[in-house]
Structure 1
Amino acid sequence: MNYLLSGFLSLSIFVSLPAISKEKNQKMYPVSSISPALLKDAFAVCRCYEHEFELIDYGKAVEKVHIVITILEENGNEYSELYLPYDKSTCIKSISGQSYNAAGLPDDKLKNSAINDLNYNSAGIIFDDIRLKQAQIIPVNYPYTIEYQYEIEHDGLINYPEWRPIEDYRISIEHSLYRIIWPENMKIRYRELNIPEGTRKEKQEEGKYIFEWNIDSIPAVREEAMSPRLYTLMPRVILGPTNFTYGGSSGNMSSWKEFGIWIDGLNKGLDQLPDTRKAEIKNMIGEVKDTVLVVQSLYKYMQKRTRYVGIQLGLGGFQPFPSETVDLLGYGDCKALSNYMKALLNAVGIPSVYVIAGAGSNPGVTMDDFPTISQSNHAILCVLMQNDSIWLECTDQTNPCGYMGTFTGGHKVVTINSDGGKLVYVPKLPVSKNIQKRTANIKISPDGSMQGTSKTIYTGYEYENISGELTKSPKEQEKDILGRLSIAGLVVSKFGYTEKQGEIPEVEERLDFASSMSVSKTGIRLFVPLNMLSQQVQVPTKTEDRKFPFIQRFASVEKDSTCFYLPEGYQTETIPKEKLVKTEFGEYHVQLVSQDNKMIYQRELKILEGTWPKEKYQSLVDFYALVVSFDKSKLVLKQKQP
């Protein structure tokens, strides 16, 4: 479970200090005492963060936290808000708060009436055991300081809180400390990342181990375009149990194999269907022997009969609802729907494997030898074939069968069976499969107006850029087309979409369009924008004194071929030269070919995936700037003189 102070701490954060009680005129945390180095680039300064996590046994623990944050300006207000999610396994014992003015004099105390107890809904979750304590003090004048202390008791533990001294941009750290205490007869695990030497201190006393990490004076950092996730670059201590007890169930997390055994045990017996449903499925499949066709048929059946509903009930959301329940209700979360699809396949004798995965911003398993529940936030299914596998995303009612997309593509995941967990990769599409291919014909008139048609095929990951249009109304589709294409005065008279599903899906878009403004006329000349349909308009933000490496996460290709029909009585005066650029970040090629009264514009832009050191960032900016510049090129036509 995560406890957070808005935007600042997306981890369990709880050190035992006396309850807040200060003399009325006693100065605490004056802004004038903050080092200038910590004010630079900061919206807020964490003056003190002290967190103690004491394990009583494998299922019980006490957490205590003391946090003091100075808010320097309005942009830092989000750090003044306290969020404490809790469920049946946690008890919030106390919360106290106090604000101080710039001089450090006490201002307002947090009143009990200002602590709200709310339903907790996030990421589409609808049914949830989790509730939320929320509080905030916002003084009138800046800067101001907020102090919170709270204590939480756990009865059921499957994860231990991480320590991330800095977890957001524009907040500096004056002092941060993390302490974990556990009995000698227990085993825990920890992993240090980007931790300076000498940060950790250890001692043993009264039958307990005590480890403490302490860091002071970390300046704020600015967000940088295309940089890795901040937590991968900053100091971080990850802790995890070996044995654990949670929700009345006990397990072992010393390896992914052991953790997989626990997950498999939770799922036992939950993939059964009513006999009537089994009979229906067998009758529907009939004599079809092709496994791929059967999987496709049952996948579409599952999509039509169910919908995704976020559910976090019982065992912290680790155990799926029984397939019989999903069959009755027609909805479920990622675990329940994946388990239901597994049950449908079982009914016709096709084995499949339940998979826990990281999806979206969660990159999945990044530590092969250090299991934690934070390395997954999703469940999918895998059908093992003799020569290949079919991966199934079961929460999307329109997703093509076998297509995993950028949501989980390339992530390392954990397959679950009776032998335990096994690490594998979800396939990732190569650049050759992620293509936007456009062909267009545009007729230019002597008055500068134009009419055109285009056909654009989006495949692979490029499919995700257009597939949302398939479920929209024609009015919404037209609005999106007008917003997407940079053609002045654009009028779309006809459009349509055709989808081709599969492991590498495809959408074809066809447009009929016109404009009286896109081609400018000056005297006897017409100025024709060559790239009307695929123009690159953004250049990565320039960064002075860049601190971090940069990433392009997915590779893709844009291919354009546009045939311009020149108006009668005009001839070409200025033709942009061919341009070919090859870099480690991507490639760009553009050329014009003349054919009778036609001019054919050909363009290809290839973006490559990878990670590069900060020193190469300016070269990346230069590459994109060149693309933007040449995408603005114009063909100049001159009226023939008698």
Structure 2
Amino acid sequence: MLLRISALLLLLLYQNTSAQDNVSALTLPDTLKQNANAVIRLEEKTITISSKKSMNIKTKRIVTVLNEYGMRYINAAELFSKSTRIKSMQALIYDAFGKEIKKIKKKDFRERSISEGSIITSNRLLYLDYTPIKYPFTVVYTSETETSNTAFIPSWSPLDGYYASTEKATMSITSDPDLGFKYKAYNFDEGVLQTNQADNTLTLTAENLTAYRYEDYAPSSHKIFPSVLFGLQTFNLEGVEGDATTWESFGTWMYNNLLTGTDELPEETVTKIQKLTSVTDDPMEKAKMVYKYMQNKTRYISIQLGIGGWKPMLAEDVDRLGYGDCKALTNYTRALLNAAGVEAYYAVIYGDRSSRDIKEDFVSMQGNHVILAIPDNEELVWLECTSQQLPFGFQGDFTDDRMALLVKPEKSCVVRTHVYNAKNNVQFSKGQYSIAEDGAITGHIKIVSEGLQYDDKYAYETTSPSDMERIYKNRFDNINDIKLKETSIKNDTDAKKIVEDITIEANGYGNKTGNRIIFAVNAFNQTSSVPQRYRTRKTPLEIPTGFYDEDEITIQLPEGFTVEAKPNDVTITNKFGEYKATYILTNPTTMVYKRSIIINSGLYDSTEYNNYRLFREKIARNDNAKAVLVKN
């Protein structure tokens, strides 16, 4: 009894010494620990914008790290540069009981450049480098920074990511009323966001947000996690004053201040481009020639020096050096096209495999990538200028189907990039294989891919043979010990198609038992993956990309065997797509297998997830359907 009382007194002592900051891991409610690797006990950010050239940010962040996977949520780091300085930084480390075990001052933080590989930047990072003794532990981090840039007011997301919960998060912003401060909240459930606005100060608070676990086919986090964007109608970016009242005025500001004067080319290059494109009057044919010229001449390297994070380097410098970042290469291509008499627009976008939109309803500095748009009658032809391989006018899933800002001298606007429907993303397969009496398989297949299925494969043309062998063995992993006898890849960049010719053989594909052979009819395009089962699904279901596959395979059966059993023809249709498979015996030893599958993209309520999982389960089961041969 005495031991229990002493332990209780010790716990109370630790709790009292840290009660102000609530750093004891023992006080965490179970609801916040569920699905969590870390709990943000407090995220408190106070921003003061006293003028368009002065923003002060104070941060206090208390994070209880529950295990090694929670280390990424400490976030005790600050960027600094010529325009941003760190006034103070400190971190206190507490054990599970709330007892202080380490104090780390600003001078003890680690410093490094964030230049890496092809990224060049003047920004540097000061960050906490701490190796824990044991879990759980708590970090209390405080900092103060000051910057002359007011173009980027930090966005606020009270949830840091998957597997992290939040006990309390607050954002307080005080701004000079003449600057036109504004904000917009996204993805908050009713009653979660508490708002207080008085005396030019906005305070936002959210409490007790439980952790999300990652779920198959969940939308990207920016579509479901609560967040708030902030901005000013008039701001400063590295000494350049900006206007973000409307997208039109913002685009005009970008054009006049970030693009004007950057597109001049050496006269020799102008003459070369004009001569190159003089063979045609068709603007699109001229543009194709220019794009190929740019791809052959340049390479990508990211440069983010000062305002260079948004202002492209001079086109004449790209022409001389042969490299640039997305802004520089896009602007250089725009300049080359202008020399050829072809109009083109610089376009700001979010480049990401998970589609992300420029928020059309909130005018501000957004985006992380730049591409080029060429008007073609009522359409826009989009060019990715950082790739030396992509065909002219092809958009992959890094930039397709999302809102982008077209930057023009006037009438700038936000538009959607190219949208692929399911039947644009196609794979046509036609081939044959033979089953031998001992179950061995030999066969050949020709596969033609277009749309985003082309995007998945266009790099095959320059992939090493050893890597291609690994890729094919993974694709045909249903055929044990497969041997690739011959492979050929043709990239038709004009048609934007990739054609694969593959010849294979393998022993034991058919399972021989006595006088019978059992084998899966679909040898070349089996779908085996089934979405994970969840007892309670929290996130919506998103199928981000639809596709269409069509297969026709002729199967030669061994002499002296007949078909004892074969799968039944099947058609499965619902809102998610359609699956069809037929098995036709054209003669006793020849079967023609035809299969088609279409999966529709879409966003669905979480309650629909199980129906989709069952649909995919039926497809996987039918794709593995088997035929039985018996010896006569």
What is the TM-score with the length of structure 1 in the denominator?
0.92
Measured against aligned partners, the alpha-carbon deviations of 1:454-491 in whole angstroms (never above 9, x if no partner) come to: 10001111012221211112232222212221211211
**1:48 lines up with 2:42 in the alignment:** yes
- SS of the equivalent of 2:274 reads helix
- Counterpart of 1:147, as a letter, is V
* CA-CA distance at 1:626 after TM superposition: 0.7
Work out whether residues 450 and 516 of structure 1, in 8 Å CA contact, stay in contact via their aligned partners in 2: yes
* Separation in 2, partners of 1:425, 1:454: 37
Quote the sequence identity (%). 27
Corresponding position of 2:330 = 338
Equivalent residues in 2 for 1:8-407, closer than 5 Å: 26-28=17-19, 29-112=23-106, 114-121=108-115, 125-193=118-186, 194=188, 196-197=190-191, 199-204=194-199, 209-265=200-256, 266-361=258-353, 363-374=355-366, 376-407=367-398
Q: Answer yes or no: is 1:631 the counterpart of 2:626.
A: no
- Displacement, 1:539? 0.9
Find the counterpart in structure 1 of residue 460 from structure 2.
Answer: 469
C-alpha spacing 1:184/1:442, structure 2 compared with 1 (3 Å)? closer
Separation in structure 2 between the aligned mates of residue 259 and residue 628 of structure 1, nearest angstrom: 50
Instruction: Provide the secondary structure at the position in 2 that maps to 1:406.
Output: coil
Secondary structure of 1:214's counterpart equals: strand
The residue aligned with 2:518 is 527
Aligned pair in 2 of structure 1 residues 239, 293: CA closer, same or farther (>3 Å)? same
Q: Could you tell me which amino acid in structure 1 is paired with residue 497 of structure 2?
A: E
Give the secondary-structure state (helix, strand or coil) at the position aligned to 1:373.
Answer: coil
8 Å CA contact 1:331–1:337 kept in 2: the answer is yes
CA contact (8 A) 1:261 1:417 kept: yes
Q: Residues 386 and 74 (structure 1 numbering): CA distance in 2 closer, same or farther, change over 3 Å?
A: closer
Q: Deviations over 1:543-593 (max 9, x none)?
A: 121112111111111111111101100000111001100111121111101
Structure 1: which amino acid aligns with 2:181? I
Amino acid at match of 2:170: L
Superposed CA offset, 1:280-300 (max 9, x none): 122222332222221111111
CA distance in 2, matches of 1:386, 1:38: 55
Corresponding letter in the other structure for 1:115: F
Partner SS for 1:168: coil
Contact kept, 8 Å, 1:566 with 1:598, in 2: the verdict is yes
For 1:95, give the aligned amino acid. Answer: M
Residue type at the aligned position of 1:217: N
Contact persistence 2:555–2:592 (CA under 8 A): yes
Give per-residue Cα distances to partners, 1:117-173, cap 9 Å, x unaligned.
Answer: 101146x65211211111133331211111100000011221211221113111111
Distance 1:512 1:82 in 2: 54
Matched residue pairs, number?
612
Q: 1:560 aligns with which of 548, 551, 555?
A: 551
Query: 57-66 or 135-144: which moved more?
Result: 135-144
How large is the Cα RMSD of the aligned pairs? 1.9
Matched, 1:492 2:484: yes
The one-letter code sitting in structure 1 at the alignment partner of 2:220 is R
Deviation (angstroms), 1:68: 0.6
CA contact (8 A) 2:581 2:596 kept: yes
SS at match of 2:485: strand
Kindly tell me: are residues 573 and 587 of structure 1, through their superposed partners in 2, closer, same or farther at Cα, counting changes over 3 Å?
A: same
In the alignment, the residues of structure 2 paired with residue 222 and residue 195 of structure 1 have an alpha-carbon distance, to the nearest angstrom, of 18
Letter in 1 for 2:156: W
Q: 1:517 aligns with which of 508, 513, 535?
A: 508
**Mapped partners of 1:359, 1:423: distance in 2:** 15
> Does the Cα contact within 8 Å between 1:57 and 1:183 map onto a contact in 2?
yes
Aligned-residue offset at 1:362: 6.6
Match of 1:17 in 2: none
Instruction: Kindly indicate whether residue 449 of structure 2 is the aligned counterpart of residue 458 of structure 1.
Output: yes
Pair 614,387 (structure 1): closer, same or farther in 2 beyond 3 Å: closer
* Aligned mates of 1:526, 1:23 — CA distance in 2: 72
Cα distance in 2 for residues equivalent to 1:592 and 1:365: 44
Q: Match of 2:128, SS?
A: strand
Report the secondary structure of 1:492's partner residue. Answer: strand
SS in 2 for 1:336: helix
Whether the 8 Å CA contact 2:216–2:532 is kept in 1: the answer is yes
Work out the CA distance in 1 between the residues paired with 2:88 and 2:564. Answer: 79
Q: 1:594 is paired with a residue of what secondary structure?
A: strand
Pairwise CA distance, 1:419: 0.6
| Distance (Å, rounded) in 2 between the aligned partners of 1:478 and 1:72 | 42
Q: Distance in 1 between matches of 2:422 and 2:174?
A: 49
Which residue is equivalent to 1:13?
none
Deviations 1:372-405 (A, max 9, x none): 223x111111121235332211110000000012
The equivalent residue for 2:10 is none
Supply the distance in 2 between the matched residues of 1:173 and 1:499 (Cα, whole angstroms): 49
C-alpha offsets along residues 328-353 of structure 1, whole Å, 9 cap, x if unaligned?
Answer: 00001111111111111111211211
CA contact (8 A) 2:179 2:232 kept: no
The one-letter amino acid of 2:71's match is N
How far did 1:364 drift? 4.8
Give the direction of change, closer, same or farther, for the CA distance of 1:525–1:366 in structure 2 (3 Å limit).
Answer: same
Distance 1:568 1:24, change over 3 A: closer
Q: Deviations over 1:159-196 (max 9, x none)?
A: 21122111311111111111011124332011123164
Q: Secondary structure at the match of 1:117?
A: strand
Specify the alignment match of 1:422 in structure 2: 413
Greater CA deviation, 68-77 or 81-90?
81-90
Structure 1 equivalent of residue 584 of structure 2: 593
Shift in CA distance, 201/111, structure 1 to aligned 2, threshold 3 Å: closer
Tell me, yes or no, if structure 1 residue 579 matches structure 2 residue 564. Answer: no
Q: Aligned residue for 1:15?
A: none
Q: Distance in 2 between matches of 1:186 and 1:300?
A: 45
**Native 8 Å contact 1:254 1:370 kept in 2:** no
Structure 1: segments with no counterpart, 5+ residues: 1-21
Matched AA of 2:313: F
Residues 158 and 169 of structure 2 are in contact (CA less than 8 Å); yes or no, is this contact kept in structure 1? yes
SS of residue paired to 2:178: coil
Given candidates 546, 551, 557, the residue that maps to 2:537 is 546
| Pair 1:443 & 2:428 matched | no
Change (3 A) 1:467 1:537: same
Q: Kindly tell me: are residues 352 and 184 of structure 1, through their superposed partners in 2, closer, same or farther at Cα, counting changes over 3 Å?
A: closer
Structure 2 gap segments, 5+ residues each: 1-12
Q: Which deviates more, 588-597 or 289-298? A: 289-298
How far, CA to CA, are the matches of 2:127 and 2:492 in structure 1?
A: 47
In 1, distance between residues paired with 2:90 and 2:245?
37
- Secondary structure of the residue aligned to 1:571 is strand
Paired residue for 1:609? 601
Contact 1:309 1:332 in 2 (8 A): yes
Between the aligned partners of 1:410 and 1:25, the Cα distance in structure 2 is 54
